[in-house]
């Protein structure tokens, strides 16, 4: 996983290299008074899994953020994969 961005509330967003099926795994994690929270989203399909302690409203907010950065995340995932070869 590659670090992509840290939001102003210290939420961190990471992404994988591009997967063989063309998707990219995006991982979100944060900790606050509620404890450690995390979730995984696959782009470009925006399928969510392993959502732990995030509300529906949180996920909607993070999906908007991921969508706004999706082109950059995909390009970064392709570059990262090429560097590893």
The residue segments making up the domain with residue 12 are 2-76
In a domain, 61, yes or no: yes
pLDDT for the residue numbered 85: 46
In a domain, 46, yes or no: yes
In a domain, 14, yes or no: yes
The rounded distance, in Å, linking the Cα atoms of 63 and 43 is 10
The rounded distance, in Å, linking the Cα atoms of 8 and 13 is 12
pLDDT tens digits in sequence order for the chain, 85 residues long: 999 999 999 999 999 999 999 999 999 999 988 789 999 999 999 999 999 999 999 999 999 999 999 999 999 898 765 555 4
The rounded distance, in Å, linking the Cα atoms of 33 and 43 is 29
3-state helix, strand, coil in the chain (%, to 5): 35, 40, 25
In a domain, 70, yes or no: yes
In a domain, 6, yes or no: yes
Work out how many domains the chain is built from and give that number.
Answer: 1
């Amino acid at each position: 996983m590659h670090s992509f961005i840290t939001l102003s509330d210290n939420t961190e967003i990471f992404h994988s290299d591009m997967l063989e099926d063309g998707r990219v795994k995006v991982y979100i994690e944060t900790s606050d008074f509620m404890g450690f929270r995390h979730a995984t989203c696959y782009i470009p399909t925006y399928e969510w899994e392993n959502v732990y302690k995030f509300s529906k409203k949180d996920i909607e907010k993070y999906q908007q953020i991921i969508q706004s950065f999706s082109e950059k995340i995909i390009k970064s995932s392709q570059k990262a994969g090429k560097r590893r070869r």
